[in-house]
Amino acid sequence: MGTFEMIAKHGEHEEILFCHDKDVGLKAIIAIHNTALGPALGGTRMWNYKNEDEALTDVLRLSKGMTYKASAAGLNLGGGKAVIIGDPKTQKTEGLFRAFGHFVNSLNGKYITAEDVGTGEKDMEYIYMETPWVTGIPKDFGGSGDPSPYTAHGVLMGIKAAAHEKFGTDALKGMRVAVQGLGNVGSNLVKYLTEEGAIITVADIDQARTAKIVNQYGVKAVAVDEILAVDCDIQAPCALGAIVNDQTISKFKCKVIAGGANNQLAEARHGDHLRELGILYAPDYVVNAGGLMNVFVELEGYSPDRAFEKTRKVYDNCKKVFEIAKRDNIGTHTAADRMAEERINTIGKLKQRHPGKSFRAFTTLKEVNNR
């Protein structure tokens, strides 16, 4: 398939920038999917892609996902993403990221980057040497640092909203919650759930990490191949994607799935299947938007308290999704997409009627540019 055919197949992206600098070995692609709500924000992934087609497919898919995530979160942000082709373990250099920063800068704020798989704070610092259009920079530079506690707090809000919907209460005291994955998000979630008085079961492939959490919070651990089948009220997947699939779906004994992991449904049909089984699925990208809310606050001028407050919105966003699912008699995964699209269409039309009027996000970004 030709490059333009591939781009067309993945939807209506506004702009794709291929970035090449042979002196530093940079091969990267920036995809801007939609800027109806604001500048396209999304991380830069560095990955050893097998070939350029694989990299292009990934960046097109991920940038579209960011459009939906930002819209559903109620943020004045569009969706974009970047990929750098290369091995993050051996091919990172200052020159590579500064050259990439030049390409980001050439888009003049239409795309704002951040950390993603294979990139970290140090890389963002190099990009920041060439452009202001970067978030996730170290705290010393006015950045927001690690987003995981905010993501985890948003996940807690999503769990509460789903509990309210399914059980009629968002008090989690005595509620049985299973957490798969005890990394940055999962470990913070266990902390919040403990404070709520939930009865927690955990699993992680990392034995040392599991032991640490068990000791710290007095939670129960089970084997990694048992966690999804644990008899509980709520499953909170915080490790891998595609955990709801043909093999796992009949094993769930929970009434709610609400967790931080990305792309939890192997395919959309699994969302419909969960609905048939009477399991309420709180859509992943609505639930795990706390990290994105956190970097959005960084664009406004960072305040940890404001970021934390903002993550409470995940509760209302999930409730809205559940309402749309009931209104339209559809699965919650479809309802989340519908909610995101409704907002993009409404605000997009408003923007056409009032051209030249900037949104708040643009105004504050100018301030960022001047700092």
For residue 8, the minimal CB distance to ligand NAD (Å) is 28
Q: Nearest approach, Cβ of 228 to ligand NAD (angstroms)?
A: 9
CB nearer to ligand NAD: give 180 or 235: 180
Residue type, 30: I
Q: Which residues bind ligand NAD (CB under 6 A)?
A: 147-148, 151, 180-186, 203-206, 209, 224, 238-240, 260-262, 288, 291
Please report how close the Cβ of residue 208 comes to ligand NAD at its closest, in angstroms.
10
CA distance 348 to 354: 10
140 close to 124: Cβ distance less than 8 angstroms: no
Spatial distance between the Cα atoms of 159 and 177, rounded to a whole number of angstroms = 9
Minimum CB separation from ligand NAD for residue 213, in Å? 10
Q: What is the DSSP secondary-structure string of 125-192?
A: HHHHTT-S-B-S--GGGT-----HHHHHHHHHHHHHHHHHHHHS----TT-EEEEE--SHHHHHHHHH
**In terms of CB distance, is 157 or 261 closer to ligand NAD?**
261
Q: How far apart are the first and last CA of the chain?
A: 45
Token look-up 């490790």 returns 239
CB of 28 to ligand NAD, least distance (A): 21
For ligand NAD, give the closer residue by CB, 176 or 209. Answer: 209
**Which residues belong to the active site?**
81
Q: CB-side exposure of 114: number of CA atoms within 13 Å?
A: 27
Q: Is the CB of 17 or the CB of 222 nearer to ligand NAD? A: 222
φ, ψ for residue 152, nearest 5 deg: -65, -40
Question: Residue 129 or 240: which CB sits closer to ligand NAD?
Answer: 240
d(CA 80, CA 143): 20
CA 164, CA 294: separation in Å to the nearest integer?
25
- CB closest to ligand NAD, residue no: 183
Q: How far is the CB of 151 from ligand NAD (least distance, A)?
A: 3
Give the ranges where the chain is alpha helix by DSSP (H). 3-9, 52-72, 94-106, 121-128, 148-167, 184-196, 207-217, 268-276, 284-287, 290-300, 304-311, 313-328, 332-353, 360-370
Nearer to ligand NAD, 46 or 239 (CB): 239
CB 217 within 8 A of CB 192: no
d(CA 30, CA 107): 10
Q: Which of 336, 293, 349, 356 is nearest to 161 (CA)?
A: 336
